[in-house]
Chain A
Amino acid sequence: MTNVAVVGNRTAWRERLGAGTLAPRRVPDVRRALQLALGAVWLLDGVLQYQGAFYVKGFSDMLGGTAAGNPGWIASPITWDANLVQHNLALLNTVFATIQLLLGLGITFRPTVKAALAASVAWSLGVWWFGEGLGGVLSGGASPLNGAPGAVIIYALIAVLLWPADRAPSSPFAAGRAVGPPVARVLWAVLWLSLAYFALTPANRAPQGVNGMIAGMNSGQPGWLAALMRGAASLTAGQGLAASVVLAVALVAIAVGVYLPAPVAKATLVLAIVVSAVIWVFAQAFGGILAGGATDPNSGPLLALLALCYWPLRAASAAPRQADANLATEGTVA
Chain B
Amino acid sequence: MPPAWLTDVFAVLMLAVAAVSAARLVAARPWQQGAVIPDTDIAHLLMGIAMAGMLASSLTTLPNAGWEVIFALLTVWFAYRVARDARASGVRALAGGHCAPHLAHSAAMLYMFLALTTSGGSGMSGMGGSAGMAMPTLAYPTLAFIFALILIGYAAWDLDQLPGFRHSLATEAALPGQLAVAVAAVGAGQAPVDRVVPASAGPRAAGFMLSGEITVGCRIVMGVTMALMLFLMI
Q: Contact: A1 with B40, CB < 8 Å?
A: yes
Interface: B174 (CB within 8 A): no
Q: For residue A43, which residues in chain B have a CB less than 8 angstroms away from its CB?
A: 152, 155-156, 224, 227
The number of residue pairs between A and B whose CB atoms lie closer than 8 Å in the complex comes to: 160
Q: Contact: A3 with B152, CB < 8 Å?
A: no
Q: For residue A50, which residues in chain B have a CB less than 8 angstroms away from its CB?
A: 2, 6, 228, 231-232
Shortest distance between the CB of A95 and any CB in chain B (Å)? 12
Interface: B79 (CB within 8 A): no
Interface centre among A7, A21, A40, A90 (most CB of B within 10 A): A40
- Residue in contact with A52 in the complex, picked from B2, B97, B157, CB distance below 8 Å: B2
- Residue in contact with B165 in the complex, picked from A8, A37, A51, A111, CB distance below 8 Å: A111
Q: Contact: B159 with A290, CB < 8 Å?
A: no
Interface: B1 (CB within 8 A): yes
Interface residues of A in 15-43 (CB under 8 A from B): 16-17, 19-28, 32, 36-37, 39-40, 43
> Of B30-38, B56-64, B198-206, which stretch is located at the interface?
B30-38
Knowing A16-B36, A24-B192, A43-B224, say if A52 contacts B142 (CB, 8 Å). Answer: no
Q: Contact: A108 with B160, CB < 8 Å?
A: yes
Kindly state the interface size class of chain A when it binds its partner. Answer: 35 or more
Q: For residue A290, which residues in chain B have a CB less than 8 angstroms away from its CB?
A: 141-142, 145, 234
Q: Contact: A222 with B6, CB < 8 Å?
A: no
Q: Contact: A3 with B164, CB < 8 Å?
A: no
- Residue in contact with A40 in the complex, picked from B96, B135, B152, CB distance below 8 Å: B152
Interface: B131 (CB within 8 A): yes
Please report the C-alpha to C-alpha distance between residue A51 and residue B3 in the assembled complex, in whole angstroms.
10
Q: Mark B126-168, 1 if CB is under 8 A from A, else 0.
A: 0000010001000001100100110011011101111011110
Nearest to B162 among chain A residues (CB) is: A109
Q: Contact: A1 with B37, CB < 8 Å?
A: no
Q: Contact: B39 with A25, CB < 8 Å?
A: no
Please report the C-alpha to C-alpha distance between residue A224 and residue B165 in the assembled complex, in whole angstroms.
47
Nearest to B166 among chain A residues (CB) is: A333
Interface: B184 (CB within 8 A): yes
> Of B11-19, B82-90, B104-112, B113-121, which stretch is located at the interface?
B82-90
Q: How many residues of B contact A (CB 8 A)?
A: 65
Q: For residue B39, which residues in chain A have a CB less than 8 angstroms away from its CB?
A: 1-4
Q: Contact: B81 with A110, CB < 8 Å?
A: no
Interface: A104 (CB within 8 A): yes
Q: Contact: A47 with B189, CB < 8 Å?
A: no
Please report the C-alpha to C-alpha distance between residue A101 and residue B159 in the assembled complex, in whole angstroms.
13
Shortest distance between the CB of A171 and any CB in chain B (Å)? 22
Shortest distance between the CB of B85 and any CB in chain A (Å)? 5
Interface: A94 (CB within 8 A): yes
Interface: A56 (CB within 8 A): yes
- Residue in contact with B156 in the complex, picked from A17, A19, A40, A90, CB distance below 8 Å: A40
Q: Contact: A289 with B145, CB < 8 Å?
A: yes
Interface: B27 (CB within 8 A): no
Q: Contact: A47 with B231, CB < 8 Å?
A: yes
Knowing A6-B31, A24-B96, A111-B164, say if A16 contacts B190 (CB, 8 Å). Answer: yes
Please report the C-alpha to C-alpha distance between residue A47 and residue B191 in the assembled complex, in whole angstroms.
30
Q: Contact: B156 with A23, CB < 8 Å?
A: no
Knowing A40-B153, A110-B160, say if A4 contacts B36 (CB, 8 Å). Answer: yes
Please report the C-alpha to C-alpha distance between residue A50 and residue B164 in the assembled complex, in whole angstroms.
29
Q: Contact: A52 with B232, CB < 8 Å?
A: yes
Q: For residue B156, which residues in chain A have a CB less than 8 angstroms away from its CB?
A: 36-37, 39-40, 43, 104, 108
Shortest distance between the CB of B103 and any CB in chain A (Å)? 13
Q: Contact: A26 with B161, CB < 8 Å?
A: yes
Nearest to B31 among chain A residues (CB) is: A6
Known: A3-B36, A4-B42, A28-B160. 6 other contacts (CB 8 A): A6-B32, A22-B97, A25-B95, A36-B157, A51-B2, A110-B162
Q: List 6 A-B contacts (CB under 8 A).
A: A2-B81, A14-B36, A22-B97, A44-B152, A55-B3, A90-B3
List chain A positions with a Cβ less than 8 A from chain B.
1-8, 14, 16-17, 19-28, 32, 36-37, 39-40, 43-44, 47-48, 50-52, 55-56, 90, 94, 101, 104-105, 108-111, 222, 224-225, 286, 289-290, 292, 330, 333
List chain B positions with a Cβ less than 8 A from chain A.
1-3, 6, 30-40, 42, 77, 81, 84-85, 87-89, 92-93, 95-99, 131, 135, 141-142, 145, 148-149, 152-153, 155-157, 159-162, 164-167, 184-186, 188-192, 194, 224, 227-228, 231-232, 234
